[in-house]
Chain A
Amino acid sequence: MRGGWVSAKHALLGLLIHRPAYRYQLGERLEERLGPAWGINSGQLYQTIKRLRADGLIECIGGTEDQDERHVFAITESGVREFDRWFAESSGGARLLRRPLLVKIALAGPDRLKDALVQIDAYERDCAALLKNLSHMRDEIPETPEVGSRVRADHVFLRLGLSADIRHLDGELKWAEDAHEMVSWLLTEDAIWPSEHGRSGASKEARDRQNARDELFGRIAARQRRLGSGEERRDRDG
């Protein structure tokens, strides 16, 4: 569930820009505000904060040096500038993923293809399980506004974050289903493999189909030429 393209650095600055916080609060808020993909362990949090402090982007405004957990952190002037700079830059366009599983499937060759299928199934199950969890999580966010009749912005954003994960996983799940189907198909078909796998040659059935196709397409091409030259003649004469 972890990871993402944005480092935690700017997310933390984004939290601190609104108000100072204790370290543990930062960890909690990150996940509360951005969703389960932003869960961060205390080690990572500690390291990130240390780096931010060293860079002068945040400062310690309360607590004593020896009682680390009592530190209150606040963003500095240069922290605000860094956040603004990062905010203004492009978030990057759509991008394609390099899926390790796809590499395995594509390079499995006829001998390992069955094993690839096992991995596809496992991935499919993983996606389905995670999807179920996320859906539960989303259902738990109250849909009706809690404070009077006003919408809570943080709920909206959390829902938006979950929605991204759910759509992504839904796509992955569909892709895994497709992969399962494609690979199963390849296992039953007498497919022609790239030469490096040292196998080729199609079944009689496939050859018959190809012959029929060549014959039919050849005749259509011939008819095209015939009608085409007639048109040309007509155009010339006309």
Chain B
Amino acid sequence: MLRLEEISKRYIRPDGVRVALDGVSLELERGQIMGIFGPSGSGKTTLLRIAAGLRKPDGGIVTYNGERLDRMTAGERTRFRRREIACVWASHPQQERLDVADHVAMPLLVDRCGRRSAERRVCEALLACEAEQCIGMELRELSAGEHQRVAIARALVTEPRLLLADGPASNLSIVEQERIMMLLSELARKAGVAVLVADSDAEALLRADPILYLRDGKLVDSEPMSERGKVYQFPSTESRRAAADA
């Protein structure tokens, strides 16, 4: 579904050139939840921005269901993104006084969805993301966990086929992390959405499979965790499903 081939990206900084990504390749399928694990500054956010079509890579190919995302014009990319992709970013929106329901409805209203239908879909998405208690609140009143669940609800109202999440469970308590990762893995499993989630916290990625390790802009090893054998192995999707079904 999403295919990145030999992606490279550099940033010019006053103190020189910084290589953000260096020959990164990956392939994400429908219903898959892939984790990108790496320390801060390793290029996770840049990778997600390129996958979302928000940035053009300096080199490499981004294809989405056979379409070349890196060759589209900015306008085409925006239309494409609105139809296919939703993102959850680590930083919270600045319009702190905004009403939660209006915030979640925003992408629908931009797409000229009717007010009533938007309202219904917003309520449903918030309920599905365990954030229904936030209806009627302003963004600034939300806890960190609620913020993230509202952000995911906002991503899901557009019914995306690809969800890109940058540290959706960062800086959250373990319980909040668990709720969010459960939600994302259910989204991949039941709705068949492809999910790409990046985090510097390995624990927040436990439900992702496979987990790629990004370091200094390079994928160091496609499966560094399981590579170390039985020591720190993330259970495979199949075994987790079998366990969940049992």
Contacts and interface: CB of A to CB of B under 8 A. Distances in A.
A221 B232 contact: no
Given A208-B127, A215-B124, A231-B65, A220 B231 contact: no
Tell me the dominant secondary structure on chain B's binding face.
helix
B66 interface: yes
A209 B128 contact: yes
Given A212-B128, A224-B191, A182 B186 contact: no
A5 to B, nearest CB: 15
B47 interface: no
A224 B161 contact: yes
Interface in B36-79: 65-66
Interface string B116-142: 000000001101101010000000000
Interface string A171-207: 0000000100110010000000000000000000000
Given A217-B186, A224-B193, A93 B128 contact: no
Nearest to A223: B159
Interface stretch (B106-114, B172-180, B216-224): B172-180
A102 interface: no
Contact of A217 (B161, B187, B231): B187
Contact of B231 (A93, A216, A228): A93
Contacts of B178: 182
B127 A221 contact: no
B81 interface: no
B198 interface: no
A209 B191 contact: no
A60 to B, nearest CB: 42
Given A220-B159, A221-B190, A235 B231 contact: no
A9 interface: no
A218 B190 CA distance: 7
B20 to A, nearest CB: 30
A215 B173 CA distance: 28
A214 interface: yes
A234 to B, nearest CB: 9
Contact of A220 (B66, B130, B156, B175): B156
B190 A214 contact: yes
A220 B31 CA distance: 11
Contacts of B16: none
A181 B191 contact: no
A213 B175 contact: no
A220 B229 contact: no
A72 to B, nearest CB: 43
A79 B130 CA distance: 65
A214 B173 CA distance: 26
A209 B130 contact: yes
A156 interface: no
Contacts of A178: 173-174
Nearest to A174: B174
A221 B186 CA distance: 12
A96 interface: yes
20 contacts: A94-B231, A94-B232, A95-B231, A178-B174, A182-B174, A185-B175, A209-B128, A213-B183, A214-B190, A215-B124, A216-B124, A217-B186, A217-B187, A217-B190, A217-B191, A220-B156, A220-B187, A220-B192, A220-B193, A231-B66
